[in-house]
Structure 1
Amino acid sequence: MRSGLIVSAMTMLSRVMGLVRDVVVATFLGAGNGADAFFVAFKIPNFLRRLFAEGAFNQAFVPVLSEYSTQRTQQEIRELLNAVAGSLTAVLALITAVAMVAAPWLVWVFAPGFGRDPEKLALTADMLQLTFPYLLLISLTAFSGSVLNTWNRFAVPAFTPVLLNLSLIGSALLLMPLMKEPAMALAWGVLIAGAAQLVFQVPFLLRLGLMPTPWPNFAHEGVKRILKLMVPALFGVSVSQINLLLDTVLASLLAAGSVSWLYYSDRLVELPLGVFGVAIGTVILPALSRRHAEQSADHFAAMLDWAIRTVLLLGLPAALALAILAEPLLITLFHYGAMTDHDIAMAAMSLRAYSFGLVAFMLIKVLAPGFFARQDTATPVKVGIVAMVANMVLNLMLIWSLAHAGLALATALSAFLNAGLLGYLLHKQKVLVFQPGWGRYGVQLLGGCVLMSALLGWLSPAWNEWLDWGLWQRIRWISLLVVLGAGIYFAWLVALGMRWRHFRIAG
């Protein structure tokens, strides 16, 4: 729990800075062609980052590294780190070089609708040539973060994303006035951020004596195991990201601004997802891997149960609050400069659809490690394929009537299918064993959510009133609603006997 709080605090700082970044981008670019072009140019390497770095690579690398850390010598650990770092660098350097040459074709594949506007397509391709090297830099950063997490140094990797947001904010404020095309400044900011995040990790690896000397060695036993685990994990852990990418592809075919509306609404959902879901998933993966290596099945099951309870404790009220306060949140954060009333209304539609799936997104983050910690990547890939096919079908069913909001709703529904199947299979394999007290726990959460929702719905003014207010009046009101909503929710839980000690568990 302590490790989770550390990661949550650092992630909260990162996400808040990310919202500041998005406020700056919305103010300068709104939801026009420049914003659409940047979001696609950033989404492509960012999507691959989540596959290679935070997704498949992390889930395959951490269990193997945890096993080495408990069963192998220091020399063998260093040899593994050297081989993995070198092999990762070689593969991603090649991919990056090819992608930079093929940038126009990549844009056409990922955003085919941009082909109707040659200028928009060309701008996106130019930006992609600057943003794609971020994949190499951030993947090596994720490698370093995985090493630090395995040695229980969670704060540094969790803080590192703050540098991306600071770089983009600085680029928007300092470089935009100097550029003929303002959006290009953000592409430079992505490249600068990748280098800054990697360099930031180095002193902490040196302090642990774990700074690798990269040298490709695909024949190394550990590298071969990681590659074997990575291939199916590409689908198993990253289905939600693939689904979001499919949303972008289809959104590019819809009305101008659709890509941006989905982006702004997704960013708000990413705040609780990163602060709670990703944070809990980050700290339990190495802990579960150690429990599996030690053959401690009871502790493994108890830790999974703890993770699910914690996700529901925080995810349910967050999802309800996002849905109830969709327009007020978007207005307070983004309704400045180039962002129009119409943009707010459209983004609120997709925000409500995404918020419906927030709990499922978070559950995937904590259930998938239950498989990967046991080096089982075959089961999640089967589940992932089912969920991805379901998402494609739902996209085609819902896009006609709900447009961009239909894409968001399809992603949410497929996430529930994904999480449900993962939980069912873990329970069937007797890996997930629900601990006593779930009936009382459910009553506590349900009552708190009902009270919080009623209070927010009663106190929040109509959203068109928010449009007439200035910045500080909006901030005062949204802060009041957040504090009162959280206050009544947690007061109810305490009144019904929930205490901090109920969430203590040894890692």
Structure 2
Amino acid sequence: MNLVKAGGTIGGLTFVSRILGFVREMVFSRVMGASAAADLFVFAFTIPNQLRRLLGEGAFSQGFVPLFARLVGKDGDLDDAKRFAEEVQAVFLPALILITAIFAIGMPFVVAAIADESWREDPVIFGQAVELTRITFPYLIFIALVSLFSGILNSLSRFAVAAFAPALLNVALVGALLLFDQGGLVTARAMAWGVIAGGVIQLATLVLATRHAGLKLKLLPPRMTPRVKELLKLMVPATIAAGGYYISQLFYLKFATRLPDGSLVYLSQADRLNQLPLALIGSAIGVAILPAISRHIGAAEVKQASNVQSRATELAMLLTLPATIALITIAEPVMTTLFEGGRFSEEDAAMSGRVLSYMVLGLPAYVMIKILAPGFFARKDMKTPAIITMSTLGLAVAIWFAFIDEMGIIILPIGTAIAAWINALTLYALLHHRGHFSFEPWLVTRLLKQLLCAGVMAAILYYLSGVFAEWFAADGLRKAASLGLTCGVGGSAYLALAWIIGAMDKKDILLLLGKSKFKESK
């Protein structure tokens, strides 16, 4: 497998989706502001959206892909794999419909359990939260099926359509914002229905792509076959293990609803910036390496499996470290440029920037979890990462309870970052102890060089943010120009220095430029 090109394909198309996500957030902030209605939509969308992230980027990709790939014949025959996918669809579709119906009926209890007491005691806010969440929750049906069809395509190394599909949701939500731009509950309700429209469009696109790949799934009566049972056994711990960050976002709702209006908006915007490198780098590479690691382990090629993770770590940190340092150094100018305007004030943008600067402290750890966890999943060890994730999540919740009243909103991203680092370090320690993966000297050297380059870039960004201080406080065009110049100069300096001192694999760069052929070993 061509790791660099596969990761590049997934990352590149995910980048398109994330850019549209930024467009959505920019329009959203100007139309809705940091208002109570904006918080209501964020609340209603977060519940099914985090389940989407768990299913699409966690349980299904980590559990389904190895099983489906195992059933593909050596000559490319897909009959047995197709039957397995049909068995999964037959069980999951009615289960999803039943779960959605139960949640729709019991939504007042769900909202009461998740939201803080201040929301529960306000009948207007509580009623609106229940209404909007009832509208958005059926999105889970469509997006879970999208995860099934994405898993099929990824198993066949057809990454493009699955990586692009999330962009369609952003198109639907931007359309709702532009058509109903008066703000308040009217716009929030329109966006809730836009979530459902986006799910329908995504599913239709993935079904067509799967048929184009030669697989047309039939609707079978539900039956719990041995292979479906095996998938379920893998999925439950994989959901927990790969989705610690996303599970923590659900806990955010509990704590953020006790904070002032706009807190959910600030967290959502910061998460949008944090998710860009996490999705482009961590999730993209994690999806790309799982089939390769599974194949090497199946062939008893332990060294080759470890090498895949080493190459993934090198490539991921080359991009993650500068992204982290940049978002910490110029968080406020970034948020001011992107979101300030309309109903979203300068003070709102400054608060979003402060939240972002703390949230990205855990970004390298989040990405490493995506790279390290497949080392367990490919060996069908789902329990160990799950136990680690639940333990570190418990630590984060304890931190939030202890300091939320004293520190306010910033303790939420700080607690998550602490938990993520402990999670990543524990995963690595166990893989190293078992002889499955170790940071070899060449990798440690390269990572230290990347850190040096990122430090130089941080100094440049800090200096330029002072030079352009007046422009950052001016109109939108000059803000965008100053941000573009600052990031462009800082990023160019990072890449140039990384190339000169050997902080990157030059063969990977030549490969991306089409001037070299891929080799999986170092």
Partner residue in 1 for 2:514: none
DSSP-derived class of the 1:183 partner: helix
Partner residue in 2 for 1:410: 415
Partner residue in 2 for 1:346: 351
Partner residue in 1 for 2:424: 419
Partner residue in 1 for 2:382: 377
Look up the equivalent residue of 2:91 and give its one-letter code. S
Task: Name which of 101, 105, 115 aligns with 2:105.
Answer: 101
Report matched runs for 1:240-259 at 5 Å.
240-259=245-264
Look up the equivalent residue of 1:95 and give its one-letter code. I
Partner residue in 1 for 2:506: 500
* Counterparts of 1:117 and 1:93, CA distance in 2: 31
Task: Name which of 139, 149, 154 aligns with 2:144.
Answer: 139
DSSP-derived class of the 1:268 partner: helix
Q: Check whether the contact 2:14–2:280 (CA below 8 A) recurs between aligned residues.
A: yes
**1:397 lines up with 2:402 in the alignment:** yes
* TM-score when normalising by structure 2: 0.93
DSSP-derived class of the 1:337 partner: coil
DSSP-derived class of the 1:376 partner: coil
Identity of aligned residues (%): 34
* Counterparts of 2:392 and 2:448, CA distance in 1: 30
Judged with a 3 Å threshold, the aligned counterparts in structure 2 of structure 1 residues 179 and 492 are, in CA distance, closer, same or farther, namely: closer
Judged with a 3 Å threshold, the aligned counterparts in structure 2 of structure 1 residues 69 and 435 are, in CA distance, closer, same or farther, namely: farther
Offset at 1:421?
0.7
Look up the equivalent residue of 1:12 and give its one-letter code. F
Task: Name which of 48, 52, 73 aligns with 2:51.
Answer: 48
Q: Check whether the contact 1:398–1:407 (CA below 8 A) recurs between aligned residues.
A: no
DSSP-derived class of the 2:316 partner: helix
**1:11 lines up with 2:17 in the alignment:** no
Q: Check whether the contact 2:17–2:167 (CA below 8 A) recurs between aligned residues.
A: yes
- Per-residue displacement from partner, 1:6-44 (whole Å, max 9, x unpaired)? 111101111111000000110110111111000010001
Q: Check whether the contact 1:67–1:289 (CA below 8 A) recurs between aligned residues.
A: no
Look up the equivalent residue of 2:217 and give its one-letter code. P
Q: Check whether the contact 1:272–1:318 (CA below 8 A) recurs between aligned residues.
A: yes
Partner residue in 2 for 1:278: 283
Report matched runs for 1:142-181 at 5 Å.
142-176=147-181, 181=186
Judged with a 3 Å threshold, the aligned counterparts in structure 2 of structure 1 residues 179 and 248 are, in CA distance, closer, same or farther, namely: closer
**1:83 lines up with 2:87 in the alignment:** yes
Offset at 1:162?
0.7
Unmatched runs of 5 consecutive residues or more in structure 2 = 510-517
Higher mean alpha-carbon deviation, 386-395 vs 430-439, is at 430-439
**1:27 lines up with 2:30 in the alignment:** yes
Q: Check whether the contact 1:176–1:185 (CA below 8 A) recurs between aligned residues.
A: no
Look up the equivalent residue of 1:365 and give its one-letter code. K
Task: Name which of 213, 233, 250 aligns with 2:218.
Answer: 213
* Counterparts of 2:183 and 2:256, CA distance in 1: 31
Q: Check whether the contact 1:302–1:433 (CA below 8 A) recurs between aligned residues.
A: no
Look up the equivalent residue of 2:389 and give its one-letter code. G
DSSP-derived class of the 1:255 partner: coil
* Counterparts of 1:34 and 1:359, CA distance in 2: 33
Offset at 1:174?
1.3
Higher mean alpha-carbon deviation, 211-220 vs 346-355, is at 211-220
* Counterparts of 2:275 and 2:85, CA distance in 1: 31
**1:364 lines up with 2:369 in the alignment:** yes
User: Over the residues paired in the alignment, what is the CA RMSD in angstroms?
Assistant: 1.9
Judged with a 3 Å threshold, the aligned counterparts in structure 2 of structure 1 residues 216 and 395 are, in CA distance, closer, same or farther, namely: farther
Offset at 1:101?
1.6
Partner residue in 2 for 1:74: 78
* Counterparts of 2:439 and 2:272, CA distance in 1: 32
Name the count of aligned residue pairs.
Answer: 507
Offset at 1:486?
0.8
- Per-residue displacement from partner, 1:157-207 (whole Å, max 9, x unpaired)? 001111011110011101445997221111011000000000011222112
* Counterparts of 2:30 and 2:441, CA distance in 1: 50
Partner residue in 1 for 2:477: 472
Higher mean alpha-carbon deviation, 495-504 vs 255-264, is at 495-504
Q: Check whether the contact 2:334–2:353 (CA below 8 A) recurs between aligned residues.
A: no
- Per-residue displacement from partner, 1:210-253 (whole Å, max 9, x unpaired)? 22113254431210100111122222111111112112211111
Partner residue in 2 for 1:446: 451
* TM-score when normalising by structure 1: 0.96
Q: Check whether the contact 2:270–2:356 (CA below 8 A) recurs between aligned residues.
A: yes
